[in-house]
Amino acid sequence: MDADVIVVGAGPVGLFLAAELKLAGAEPLVLERRTTPSGEPKSRGLGALATEALRRRGLGDRLAEADVEGTKDLARDHGSTRGHFANIFKITPDASRPRTNIWQPELERVLAEHAEGIRVLRGHEVTACESDVDGVTVTAGRTWRARYAVGCDGGRSTVRKLAGFAFPGTPALLRTVAGQARFAGDVPPPGRYAGGTFLRGGSMVGITEPASNPEPAGAAGFAARVRRITGTDVVVEEFREERRFGDQARQVGDYRHGRVFLAGDAAHVHSPSGGQGLNLGLLDAANLGWKLGAVLRGDKPEAFLDTYTRERHPAGEAVLRNTRAQSALLAPGAHVDALREIVAELMDLPEANKYFADLLAGTGIRYDFPYPASAPVGEHCPDLELVDAEGRKSRLHEHTCTGRGLLLTTGHPADPRVDVVRVTNTGPLLLRPDGVIAWAGEGPLDVALDTWF
């Protein structure tokens, strides 16, 4: 064996998964086709759950630093730092579960540092992946052998195709073409027009329109598009860093085939509306990493790994659902205009506003556990403030860098399977390494400990 787990792709999800595996005592090997990180500024924000997941591993300060500039950029480009649903910028984020405004290249730098010491082989494009009873053989130039492989190789995942995963879903309704543009003369105001939406923030511009419209290319094609949508006779002198993305929504049914798993965009694609892809993908990695570690150590049986799909598929499905709804609200037309007005009015109601905030943050997700339990069991624990018997205060994330399970309690006896922190200000809580609450004082603690550890 060349490693315990071969991770295909050194994007954010692959890097985080590799670090989680290492923390769980496994030996990962990352194979990445690019010779240098992509630098493409796709994502500009990290949802609350992903922010908390990275904080739990000691990356909170780096995120907080990046957030200062990221928040300024957000205000410049969108004229608001509020959250949005289908570009209706009215959502007041839950201040107790903060997201991070960080550009994706900066996030990838933070994660690459976090994964330092792990073998990341760049310039290694995976072209074959075969699973058998003992392990997986992966080809990237030469062949590599490991107990498991995880495809973290993005929306067009090669591993997904090689391992024969079906990828059902819906094709693109809308397509966005965006880039940095230099105009000569008048530029129309951004907003919704009869045939599509003109986006503009700083020097970044874009058009969102039905995917069935002809595809433009270059400055001339983009100018023709802006003219067609806005009716303004624009001249585009330069159009750089062109990016195009659709809102196809697809998800694999089972995140595992034999010894091959998928995580991140490889397992699910959807429109970027509401900035949820990384929240989803990084949480896949957080969920899978410690479980693979436990099976590789021999602490848990193979079947334990089935909880990965059971927990993460519904989380992905929920994002596909809300991004499809956002696409419906972003489509052009008078009927959609009317619907948008009604949704915007609903967002003025505090309860509805909170509903949208929770929906986009994913904080409403609750895993279904194999023993009777009620909320908050199955939910991701926020970064609680903790107080010990001497009155000393700390934050939950200060106790989670080991990647082990954690029992917060006033009096339960220590258990060698988890770390124990004595606290006086919360009820007892058992947390899994991915920050999910496994027990909260209801029913026997042993059942929860035996299930997860």
Ligand X SMILES: Cc1cc2nc3c(=O)[nH]c(=O)nc-3n(C[C@H](O)[C@H](O)[C@H](O)COP(=O)(O)OP(=O)(O)OC[C@H]3O[C@@H](n4cnc5c(N)ncnc54)[C@H](O)[C@@H]3O)c2cc1C
| Neighbour-count burial for 183-217, b at 16+ CB within 10 Å, e otherwise | beeebbebebbebbbbbbbeebbbbbbebeeeebe
> Which CB sits closer to ligand X, 43 or 400?
43
Compute the least distance from the CB of residue 334 to ligand X, in Å: 27
Beta strands in 213-351 (DSSP E): 235-246, 249-251, 256-257, 260-262, 268-269
Compute the least distance from the CB of residue 118 to ligand X, in Å: 15
SS3 content of the chain, % helix, strand, coil (to 5): 35, 25, 40
From 25-33, 82-90, 167-175, 414-422, give the range in contact with ligand X by CB under 6 A: 25-33
> Which CB sits closer to ligand X, 279 or 322?
279
Residues 6+ apart with CB under 8 A from 251: 167, 168, 169, 267, 268, 269, 313, 316, 317, 320
Compute the least distance from the CB of residue 441 to ligand X, in Å: 34
> Which CB sits closer to ligand X, 14 or 433?
14
- Assess 13 for contact with ligand X (CB under 6 A): yes
Residues 6+ apart with CB under 8 A from 119: 3, 28, 29, 30
Compute the least distance from the CB of residue 91 to ligand X, in Å: 14
- Assess 31 for contact with ligand X (CB under 6 A): yes
- Joined together, the tokens standing for residue 208 give 């969102």
Which of residues 33, 109, 145, 412 is near ligand X by CB under 6 A?
A: 33
From 2-10, 303-311, 369-377, 406-414, give the range in contact with ligand X by CB under 6 A: 2-10
CA distance 78 to 213: 26
Q: Is the dihedral of CA 440, 446, 448, 453 positive or negative?
A: positive
> Which CB sits closer to ligand X, 104 or 309?
104
Rounded to 5 degrees, what are φ and ψ at 386?
-120, 145
On the CB side of 240, CA atoms within 13 Å amount to: 6
Compute the least distance from the CB of residue 266 to ligand X, in Å: 6
- Joined together, the tokens standing for residue 110 give 């933070």
How many angstroms separate the Cα of 85 from the Cα of each of 92, 272, 277? 11, 11, 15
> Which CB sits closer to ligand X, 78 or 310?
78
What string marks each residue from 34 to 63 as x (binds ligand X by CB under 6 A) or -?
x-------xxxx------------------
Compute the least distance from the CB of residue 406 to ligand X, in Å: 26
What string marks each residue from 264 to 303 as x (binds ligand X by CB under 6 A) or -?
xx------x--xxxxx-x----------------------
What 8-state DSSP symbol labels residue 375? T
Compute the least distance from the CB of residue 3 to ligand X, in Å: 15
Which of residues 5, 7, 14, 294 is near ligand X by CB under 6 A?
A: 14
- Assess 83 for contact with ligand X (CB under 6 A): no
> Which CB sits closer to ligand X, 10 or 305?
10
What string marks each residue from 95 to 134 as x (binds ligand X by CB under 6 A) or -?
---------x--------------------xx--------
**SS3 category, 37:** coil
Compute the least distance from the CB of residue 308 to ligand X, in Å: 15
Task: Tell me how far the alpha carbon of residue 450 is from its chain's centroid.
Answer: 29
CA distance 348 to 147: 52
> Which residues from 152-171 bind ligand X, rule CB under 6 A?
152-154, 158
Longest Cα separation, the chain:
74
From 4-12, 188-196, 223-231, 352-360, give the range in contact with ligand X by CB under 6 A: 4-12
Site residues for ligand X per CB under 6 A: 8-14, 31-34, 42-45, 104, 125-126, 152-154, 158, 245, 264-265, 272, 275-279, 281
